[in-house]
Structure 1
Amino acid sequence: MPVDTHQHVALVTGASSGIGLATALRLQQAGLVVYGAARRVDRMQQLTDAGVHVVAMDVTDDASATAGVERVLAEHGRIDVLVNNAGYGSYGAVEDVPIDEARRQFEVNVFGAARLAQLVLPGMRARRSGTIVNISSMGGRITTPFGAWYHGTKFALEAVSDCLRLETAPFGIDVVVVEPGGIRTEWSGIAAEHLRATSGRGAYAERANAVATSFDSETMARRSSPPELIAATIARAVTARRPRTRYAVGFGAKPLIALRRLLPDRAWDALILRATA
């Protein structure tokens, strides 16, 4: 296949559902060549039908991540946009979550994103252009009970992104953090399942089950924003001449981040404990 050196190329991870799926479709509609990567390629027919290239990729497997990036480079010669969206929420009390599961949370949410950045950066530096979008969360700026390992990964991703932005700015590369609030995706169901399995019995059971039920509630679903809102934000960022460093979007994101910045720790703790009782 001849190498296309003109049309911009995007790689979106976690593209089998939710924000990743919506983002891959939105970027394709914006005129980019889009590769959607995920472990569950059997769920990506919608992307194939829309003209998005589908890539099987496990971001925690270095051989898989490397092969995926090499395929894009072989077919199009460049990756101009990387959207690190792959991730999940592992919930449970710190006392209860096995350390191996905590490590896996970091492997997926932090190290997988960092490794992909390493793989695409040489080409971006050579062209002196490119955009890396790291999907964090309002949970990268605020904390709630039973989310220690999830919040830990998102706080870490924010810090990695800030350092990466400083390092790559001289090469014309933008690093953007997107901080979604409540979004209608599979995330809340997976987090509730993890929480019940980990802390649904024992010392933390009463509050843990209450929090898990709130994740699954119709009220949560009604108050959540559609993933297309995040996709539109990402598209705006990657097509901007000078994108913002952070975009807080979706239900609750801006007010909760602002409130956390204003409140002392004890006042925030009291607010969250009342809300999760």
Structure 2
Amino acid sequence: VSAGVLIGLGIAFSSFSLVLAAFGRIVSPAQRSLAFGIGTASGSLGQFIFAPLGNGLIATVGWQQTLIFFAGLITIIPLMAIALKGKASNQSTSPEVSNQTLKSAISEAFGTRGFILLTFGFFVCGFHVAFITVHLPPYIADLGLDPSWGAIALALIGLCNIVGSLASGYIGGRWSKPIFLSCIYLARSVVIALFLVLPASPLTVLLFSGAMGLLWLSTVPPTSGLVAVMFGPRYMATLFGFVFLAHQIGSFLGVWLGGKLYDETGSYDMIWYVSIALGIFAAAVHWPIEEKPVPRLANVPAE
């Protein structure tokens, strides 16, 4: 109940869908992509800082006291969130925006081809991220390398993700988001393929982790940015929440299918090939997405 349900709910209610939607309401359209990149990178920086801090505290004061310490830190977050409270200054008051209901917003989104394609693409992101997080360390051990390289690989992915998220926010604000997303997913497939064909060594693990880290959550700023461009910021939290749900479904399948195929074949090769194919699929589905508002907002000034 505590570790599974309550912490799971807490993570869900403080995830990208809510935080980035709040950012989208208080910054101008030109600043959104970079703001989304900063928000994504901040989450990665927190993971990079607090994971070793947590381990250190557990070793010195125990896990119970560590959880109490982190609970105290979390109480600061609502105070920081006050800065995001209230109606955004860039919120449109046009009837096309203010009169729309949540139900019609959801119906409009699922009736938009680009939104469906974006959801399929983010499913692949979740598949890649969760599979690699859970199964990369044992895969590295299967290669005959010291198991410590698995921990080093995940730490390097997290560190490089900070750079990748910031760069993604900057690039997404200046170039086509759909094409940029296609390039990210295609690059993931290339990086995975090279990792499989190159001789296993600490160097190849580091190169793979660094490259994958740059591509890790670099999908989040342009994905969330496309939701804001197409539908505006008013219901962005809900609509991006549906996209993020597909990400989490992909995460589940990445972890489960990775273990299932390994149990049946005794190797991770098959799931790596599936990951490459899914990356190519995601690159293909993002390419035709149109980065423009839905017809309802076509004549409404950018929010």
TM over 0.5: no
- Structure number with higher relative contact order (C-alpha < 8 Å, ≥ 6 residues apart): 2
Per residue, is there more strand in 1 or in 2? 1
Q: TM-score normalised to the size of structure 1?
A: 0.31
**TM-score, normalized by length of structure 2?**
0.29
